[in-house]
Structure 1
């Protein structure tokens, strides 16, 4: 009996009806060439697979190799799972299109041979005898970036007959794709910030330090604890188009054990704002952008997580009319109707919405992060600064200028193009130009002067009795 791993024991056994009178003699009757049987621990703890990454591979059945179309393999998010996506070759008997998920359960070395024991799950596996398989493997390096593993799979749930990585029930040659992918680098205007957040902060894009891969994760909101928060990894496979402010990229997409290729179009909107459109996940990199229809997908608006500011557009003081919240008209100033929009007057990167409630001026302040224009529509991403501002972490202001003035709408997820400014959105309002920042300064100065005058009169009234007494 041999303990190969904490999860695996191999043993030899004698014939059932042995004529030997003692146990010692029975054990001595087991020959050196007796077959090894394999036992696996019940509910074993998986172990990291010896080969991880993305691979293309061919496989041999009998004496024929299935190499075209190419088969693919890739690691799952956890370190102990691997997907083997076999393609069918019409001229190879036994070759078929089949997707298998391999869970690695044990690895060990016997002399110069590397062993691995695992569990295969597919539509064809029905019993444990179908699922458990033994493997031997050997790394290779052919130079020129051609690295990978020779792998042989057993024909049953034991390790019997596995002696060479070139002969066996199923022989596979896995070639690593990592070197080809490593040459792909994301645009500098995207990697200038390594952390990007969607406008509502529910989606986060983290760019790894080598600037060729992105981790996309979801932030769980209240009441969402325990829900699926599995992240997605995007690895740059190829840049098909690149300009000063846009790029088309083929990403290798992986989430859990699901993997494929995804086309993405990236747009630089401002130094601190980018937008991305992600296509469907497809099996091959060649097809990712070939059938990508940009009109079918919405923009995802991303803001640099460091919250850098940027000068606001439409500098000046504007009168507000027709305020709507979630499609309902608001007329009462104490219920959220504001009367003045001030942009960039007190600070170039600050926007204010003012209202007069019970003879008090209330202000909701926002800091501008970036803006851009498409045709006749202007987009601005900002975040609230004051407590009286809405609770959203960031908002997108969408505006359009017409002969009647400026029409504004705000959105809390992304800068959607289908919204009609001034009529739709979380907040909608219209403004007329009331004056530039000099008028705002004059108004502020008048308020200050009025306040000083009022204080002076109060002091004078307080001193009059003293003069009268004399």
Structure 2
């Protein structure tokens, strides 16, 4: 009836009989209805995390408060729900402090059927907790902290001041790694690291706040932390909430963990990687990541996203040796072996690492990675413990294919492996006798003893390592082309050829090797007969 009362007084103000229908009254009546329809819309429609569970806020409904029945701008809302035949009203006072963070206070359930927004506002308790919601699909943003930071910390168990912990930025600048060191004065503590993703920061009452998402959490059960900041880029204090509720984190003393930090010196490279590696793109055989060397900085990326970064600190050793290996021109290869101590940021793993780089060819580098350690001065040489191997190849590499000719197996009348017949830098490989062959480009090849290693690529697909031992052919997709890596890897393709023919010219050779498409036996017989007639 409220709109009728408003319409009545509106007509009286214009000295119009309130019961006389006019065009103006029609439009006023219609507009009032429209305002009433959208009077209690909620602007923050989305799925939100509330603690460890998701809630939904729709146009006029808040999943655990019910339907919105009245509001004052976007500052105060009155919600109504029915619980076990009981009508429940709640007053909610929300504040969108960041696009990804919604905070609110609310009254308890009120079962007064005559409840209004004005009456409900009076029911809010001064000590009502501040609740925090985090947008489920909230996008991460660059973290506001300058790193690296050294810190000491304090929690419910006591103060850890005898050991220095640290905060490092991950390769992704929207993430941080907080590494807590164990303390002798806190016997129940262990060294532990947590990785967080920054999803929003804001200022309130002179404090800076940061909302973060724990990276280790599963998407269906996200976990968040609120952080309160007091300080600047050089020194200050951080307070971290105990859980996702962020209850009453309005001052540092309410934090579960209190950190006192100072900025640390940022590392810079002290040496350069070899000049011949510089300003060229290299592709990893096992991951297809792109590797780039720029002076003393070495980065790997995938789909334009940086995956790791290494800074050259020292070149600890360099040697060369002539191996029983043959390169593209059947000349012995003089390997150059280098050891580098680097500082690595791989995802959120940060530390020091020994790296062995062996230059197989001018277009191929074998890399062996040591363990990542917090200790800068661990030995770096032949005694290093290898935890990972990789082969990187120059992105424009191409070479003549080895084992030129047509290679057959008993079960197939067509060659399963044709190398360098139609093009010296291409070969065709048939996985089964029934399948059409695949055209593959040879990138680089070398010999170790009686084994021929071949890096090859099919169109824009991933790189594969092929191992040719006598008449045996094995294929290892997405595998470092390294003898020790292949030794423990099951090949995707493994066959032994029984006979081989040389590449020939003319109609018969083109028929055999140009496309390798299976042709019916009758057609084959007819073509042979036709050739003899000619």
Output the CA distance in 2 between the equivalents of 1:393 and 1:176: 50
Q: Quick check: 2:468–2:474 contact (8 Å CA) kept in 1?
A: no
Partner Cα separation in structure 2 for residue 45 and residue 18 of structure 1: 35
Q: Which residue of 1 aligns with 2:340?
A: 248
Equivalent residue, structure 2, for 1:163: 251
Offset at residue 389 of structure 1 (A)? 11
Whether the 8 Å CA contact 2:101–2:133 is kept in 1: the answer is yes
Structure 1 residue 265 displacement after superposition: 0.9
Aligned to 1:140: 232
1:238 aligns with 2:313: yes
CA distance in 2, matches of 1:306, 1:268: 17
Match status 1:100 vs 2:194: yes
- Equivalence for 1:447: none
Q: Which residue of 1 aligns with 2:130?
A: 37
1:266 maps to what in 2? Answer: 357
Residue 442 of structure 2 aligns with which residue? Answer: 393
Map of 2:298 onto structure 1: 213
* CA displacement at 1:264 relative to structure 2: 1.3
Cα distance change on mapping 1:41 and 1:214 into 2, 3 Å:
closer
Structure number with the bigger relative contact order (C-alpha 8 A, sep ≥ 6) is 1
Which structure 1 segments of 5+ residues have no match? 142-146, 219-228, 313-319, 339-352, 355-361, 367-383, 401-406, 430-470
CA distance in 2, matches of 1:390, 1:121: 42
Q: Is the 8 A contact 1:197 1:304 kept in 2?
A: yes
Which residue is 1:411 aligned to?
454
Q: Is the aligned partner of 1:193 residue 2:276?
A: no
* CA distance in structure 2 between the aligned counterparts of 1:11 and 1:209, rounded to whole angstroms: 50
Closer/same/farther in 2, CA of residues 424 and 185 from structure 1, 3 Å limit? farther
Report the secondary structure of 2:266's partner residue: helix
Structure-2-length-normalised TM-score: 0.49
**Quick one: which of 327, 345, 366 aligns to 1:275?**
366
Structure 2 CA distance for aligned equivalents of residues 44 and 389 of structure 1:
42
Change (3 A) 1:298 1:38: closer
Whole-angstrom distance in 2 between the partners of 1:243 and 1:304 = 22
Residue 287 of structure 1: how far off its partner (Å): 8.1
Residue matched to 1:3: 96
Q: 1:90 Cα deviation (Å)?
A: 2.7
Q: CA deviation at 1:89?
A: 1.1
Asked if structure 1 preserves the Cα contact closer than 8 Å seen for 2:202 and 2:209, the reply is yes
8 Å CA contact 2:363–2:444 kept in 1: the answer is: no
- Would the aligned equivalents of 2:283 and 2:394 in 1 still touch at CA under 8 Å? yes
Distance 1:93 1:25 in 2: 54
Q: Is the 8 A contact 1:44 1:105 kept in 2?
A: no
Equivalent residues of 1:138, 1:150 under 8 A apart: yes
Q: Which whole-Å deviations, capped at 9, do the CAs of 1:321-349 have from their partners, x for residues lacking one?
A: 9x9969x79xx9x95999xxxxxxxxxxx
> Does the aligned pair in 1 maintain the 2:278–2:295 contact within 8 Å?
no
CA distance in 1, matches of 2:224, 2:388: 44
Deviations, residues 399-447 of structure 1 (Å, cap 9, x unaligned): 66xxxxxx6734337999xx89757666999xxxxxxxxxxxxxxxxxx
Query: By how many angstroms is 1:179 displaced?
Result: 1.4
Following superposition, the deviation at residue 107 of structure 1 comes to 1.6
Query: Structure 2, unaligned stretches of length 5 or more?
Result: 1-92, 320-335, 430-436, 457-462, 476-495, 498-534
**Structure-1 separation of matches of 2:254 and 2:382:** 43
Q: Deviation at 1:214?
A: 1.1
The aligned residue for residue 302 of structure 1 is 392
Maintained 8 Å contact 2:316/2:341: yes
How many residue pairs match? The answer is: 344
What are the superposed Cα offsets for residues 139-194 of structure 1, whole Å, 9 maximum, x if unpaired?
535xxxxx466321134623525335x884322245566711x2344413254233
**Cα offset, 1:259, TM superposition:** 5.4
**2:424 matched to 1:365?**
yes
Distance 2:199 2:445 in 1: 50
1:151 — aligned with what?
Answer: 238
Offset of residue 195 of structure 1? 0.7
Shift of 1:27: 3.7
Determine if contact 2:228/2:238 at 8 Å carries over to the other structure: yes
Q: Distance in 2 between matches of 1:93 and 1:390?
A: 63
Separation (CA, whole Å) in 2 of partners of 1:42 and 1:389: 48
In 1, distance between residues paired with 2:392 and 2:116?
77
* Contact kept? 2:227, 2:239, Cα under 8 Å: yes
RMSD of aligned alpha carbons: 5.4
| 2:184 maps to 1:90 | yes
C-alpha displacement of 1:114: 0.9
